[in-house]
Amino acid sequence: MKKIILFSLFVLLTPLAQAQSLCPMTNADAMQACLDEKLQSAIDEMVSDLTMIKQRHAENDALLKSLELSQQTWDAYRKTQCLNVYQTWQKNAQQQAVTASCAIELTRQRNQFLQDYYLK
């Protein structure tokens, strides 16, 4: 029973620790503002890379259509995954921070994938 409780605490604290490592503020409002800024930065970087990919492959209609579909599918995945995180952290003061952290992490992962497979 102790192992289950410890594991549950670890699973819940890891996303919170990630959010706090992104924005190590003690004030919840300042932390949320910082996380929102980091999320917007990650989104802007991804949009910039998508623009470069589209320019680089402008003559390949099949690739562009496939890329658009994969981006839409990824966006739906990100929204669903982070909604699940939001629901998991219901009734917790850090719900918004952990949800923003989810979106930041997934956006950064997607951007890294785009860079690795389309821009190198």
In angstroms, the CA 118 to CA 115 distance is 6
All structural domains of the chain, each given as residue ranges with its CATH number in brackets, are 2-118 (1.20.1270.180)
At 26, is the secondary structure helix, strand, or coil? Answer: coil
Nearby residues of 85 by Cβ (< 8 Å), 6 or more positions away: 15, 98, 99, 102
Is the pTM for the entire model greater than 0.85? no
Q: Which helix (H) or strand (E) holds 43?
A: helix 28-56
The 10s digit of each residue's pLDDT in 9-66 is 444 446 777 777 888 867 888 888 999 999 999 999 999 999 999 999 999 999 999 9
